[in-house]
Amino acid sequence: MKLQLNRFFKKTDVAPDLKEIAVKGNTSAVSQTADKAKDIEETVTVCPKCKQEFNKAEVKQNLNVCMACGYHYVISAERRVKSIVDAGSFRPLKCKVAFANPLDYPEYEEKISALQKKTGLEEAVYTGVGKIDGYEAVIAVMSSKFLMGSMGMAVGEKITNAIEYADKKKLPLIIFTASGGARMQEGILSLMQMAKTSAAVERFNQNGGLYISVLTHPTTGGVSASFATLGDITLAEPDALIGFAGPRVIEQTIGQKLPEGFQRSEFQQEHGFVDQIVPRDKMRETLAHILRLHCKRGK
Ligand SMILES: [Zn+2]
């Protein structure tokens, strides 16, 4: 049988960010001047779910969630952290990982440098320590804007470092996942990060640490098959894609039509993989509530 590699490396469906949506929503702008079109692009967004138009600044103000239907747009790692921690309490963890290109993958280094400049992130995960309603916690946030949040050696190391730091300081651990899976540019070495991060979670677990995993759109591949699904408590944002292989690959493999809503947060909750679905505006109070039940304040 011939392997169809294009299927394996198919890009995962990502929630578009506000800029992309504005461009798509502007298809009838043939007769408009370039300036007018640009104005609309800068100020208006069309929700991909309910198709209503909104002022982009208002959606941004609403934590990138549609005011009408609750559609969750992508949010940057930095804004996500800000939306859950006590103001001024967050400090990033120092964990510098040198760039490596073990397979000499063409243009990999250039791609990483360009993304570092564009996103302001070192890699596809952002880690630090912050307080949520007075409770200190180690927080890691993955970004789907950085090579689809794919996990290579640097992401594996930063996640492991965050887990080990939480273990050492006896702090709870919260990881927001968003990933297309293992990073193909690093081949087998990226798959090894699944074992590395899972082992770190297990050590943390044996030492009595509390790990809250928050699955956001999309959490798939090697990340869903390792640390993302090893939490003591698993939360998810509404309508997030959560699974291992994409629905199309599964349909082609098993030759069957998949049920409605397959692999979405609500489906995963019904089937016992997710404990609670938490909209973005309720995330801080939900995390604070869990920490209050399990931890001492200031710890
Ligand atoms: Zn909407």
- Expressed in angstroms and rounded, the spacing between residue 55 Cα and the centre of ligand 1 is 12
- Expressed in angstroms and rounded, the spacing between residue 275 Cα and the centre of ligand 1 is 25
Say whether pLDDT at 8 is over 50.
no
- Expressed in angstroms and rounded, the spacing between residue 140 Cα and the centre of ligand 1 is 28
| CA 113 distance to own-chain centroid | 20
- Expressed in angstroms and rounded, the spacing between residue 249 Cα and the centre of ligand 1 is 28
- Expressed in angstroms and rounded, the spacing between residue 251 Cα and the centre of ligand 1 is 29
For residue range 23-49, list pLDDT tens digits in order.
Answer: 444 444 445 566 666 666 679 999 999
Residues with Cβ within 8 Å of residue 270, at least 6 apart in sequence:
none
Q: What local confidence, expressed as pLDDT, does residue 296 receive?
A: 77
DSSP letters spanning 92-154: E---------TT--TTHHHHHHHHHHHHS-SSSEEEEEEEETTEEEEEEEE-TTTGGG-B-HH
For residue range 164-190, list pLDDT tens digits in order.
Answer: 999 999 999 999 999 999 999 999 999
Question: Longest C-alpha distance within the chain, in Å?
Answer: 65
Q: What local confidence, expressed as pLDDT, does residue 297 receive?
A: 73
Q: In order of start, what are the domains of the chain with their CATH numbers? A: 74-294 (3.90.226.10)
- Expressed in angstroms and rounded, the spacing between residue 72 Cα and the centre of ligand 1 is 9
Say whether pLDDT at 159 is over 70.
yes
- Expressed in angstroms and rounded, the spacing between residue 291 Cα and the centre of ligand 1 is 31
pTM: predicted TM-score of the whole model, two decimal places = 0.87
First to last CA, the chain: 56
- Expressed in angstroms and rounded, the spacing between residue 47 Cα and the centre of ligand 1 is 5
Say whether pLDDT at 154 is over 90.
yes
Say whether pLDDT at 17 is over 70.
no
Percent residues over pLDDT 70 in the chain = 86
- Expressed in angstroms and rounded, the spacing between residue 65 Cα and the centre of ligand 1 is 8
- Expressed in angstroms and rounded, the spacing between residue 69 Cα and the centre of ligand 1 is 4
For residue range 223-240, list pLDDT tens digits in order.
Answer: 999 999 999 999 999 999
- Expressed in angstroms and rounded, the spacing between residue 80 Cα and the centre of ligand 1 is 20
> What's the mean per-residue pLDDT of the chain?
90
Q: What local confidence, expressed as pLDDT, does residue 246 receive?
A: 85
